[in-house]
Structure 1
């Protein structure tokens, strides 16, 4: 039964929640911390989304979501019989929205992007079998920029932040019974307050100002569970809660002159995402995964710069044991992106019938 533990690694590339609540991307993984011995992994994945909105039948936004590529990596090592450490690199949060500039849509030419990279250093201590605790520090590098083109009143606004490095922490506990491939863990990631310095421009009136504003990268709680149900089959379940309702992006000139008293981006609800999967050993060298993930839509109006609301995704993955120490894992998922409604110049815009095709690959090596 111990061999079924390797199936869980399929989940780390299988269902990237690119359209989860807020700007969630990676789920802030910790799975490498539980690998045996000295371990190294590199992963990459792509998303190819279609997200479009409709003001009227004749006035449509076109696809506003850009194809994206993301990466991650991890290194894990045992320090002693009871202590191990890991360094994990991921891109926890992000966004890239671009309204096509060639359309007659009121926001054509509007775009927004948020980029983050996180490096986590984690130490795990086995109290006694089967309990362990772990904790560590996270450094998050973040930046963003936006262009808002309001064609109706000939207003063009831009904002670009500096690049900030900020610190947070994570804490967790795990329970394991290796003989039946059982492991459950609960992980808390702290919120991180980022103070951006920015340059704002109201281009149409040649007004430029250096400003600053705070953004809360949200705290989160991850629950992960796996257990063997036969000698070659593994059941997996996870749940992730993220406190998005405290994350607001409020540049000074935007809230004063472009859209008075409103946030550039703000979230009314927290998010709760579930995933359920089955892993099956197919041959001595090949294992497979099927999983489904879901996040319930909030039903509230969304920002035009974050025009999605909930999702459901279906994932299939394969893991190939190339050598005794090297494995290659691939996964593809199809995501049905939830219908969302936004307000635009006192009119309601509907974003519906949207989807994304995501692909991931990971190379792992036990040294």
Structure 2
């Protein structure tokens, strides 16, 4: 049996213990991993040119392609022109990479706590993870990528990732339209992994867990609202309690709820850009009109009105919905029936 702990972001040791699940993980790449510029999925912009005008002024007008499986989530982000030609935030890695160790280390350092490998491996301190996430969220994508690649991943004696690494700076060796500088931290030989086993499983017990700060803070804000949630009994139960501590899905949620929560960490609506920390708009509820009200009430840190992007032709300030699958599921018949 392979030993795994809180720095085991590399899925390979987990795969030695759970080979069938590991095969399923690798199968999200298809029959084999297809990288390189000639193997990219079809461009939605080429098939539907009107999207370029719809997203004018937004990075999706530059590059927008068909989705691929989880194995590609970090590779495809690393090569998209949305990253190589336009400046993106470090928060983009929140749901495209295995970021537990990065957030944990940065957070512990910011809190004045030991952040050596042994301390990181021993236990996951979610307060430190959230602090680290807040520290790096608005940093430049390429700088946070460099930090991520320098983190321990549980396999110090090998550097052959299960999923191929994207070429640094994509196929043109650029970030935000500029050549990757010599010596940039993202060029180091370390590994960064797409979302991995450790992101949804406790390495000691294998129990499901959530580790993404965006979800943990978002669902806690949602629990504070008055929106009825019969499909989430743990939230209703928490509301009837003394509320001395915020709703914590890892302590309060049922096993059945966790089956949805692990997906809801990323398959959601959110804000993710350089203007502010990544955020889920759940403070008033999960419905579309409640998310819109949340964004309408929000301001950027400098006090200006919140928006996702300013349209390149009209100058209109636009709210751009991402992919609110968890929210849609929450309002459907499957959630009402307890089906995840």
Q: TM-score, normalised by structure 2?
A: 0.24
Higher helix share: 2
Larger radius of gyration: 1
Richer in strand (by share): 1
